[in-house]
Amino acid sequence: MKYLSIGILLSILGVLLSLFIWGIDKAYLITGGIGILFIVISLLISGSMVSGDRMRANFATESAEDRRQRTSTTTRTVLIGLPNVILAALLYFLIN
């Protein structure tokens, strides 16, 4: 819940910042950028951007604690990025 509220706070700050910079017409740009950034970070941390044999090798060599840490970090970054992407999509479709 803490990371979801951080994502909501970042999306509100992103909308306010973009309102000051561009106005309401482009209010989705900063929030969408923040959301995409955090989702790309979660993809990189999760290890899903490598080939199948590399995933299998990583799974075989990492400990259960490392796997839990990687999964929790991935979940946290998705929870931060998701409200930003949702708000950016809503703003885009409502304004344009």
43-58 pLDDT, tens digit per residue, is 999 988 888 888 888 8
For residue 38, name the pLDDT band (cuts at 50, 70, 90): very high
Number of domains in the chain: 1
Instruction: Check: CB of residue 83 under 8 Å from CB of residue 8.
Output: yes
- Residue 79's pLDDT is 96
Q: How many CA atoms lie within 13 A of 53 on its CB side?
A: 0
Task: Give the contacts of 79 (CB within 8 A, at least 6 positions apart).
Answer: 3, 4, 6, 7
Domain that holds residue 7: 2-95
Say yes or no to pLDDT of 25 above 90: no
Map tokens 């400990």 to a residue.
63
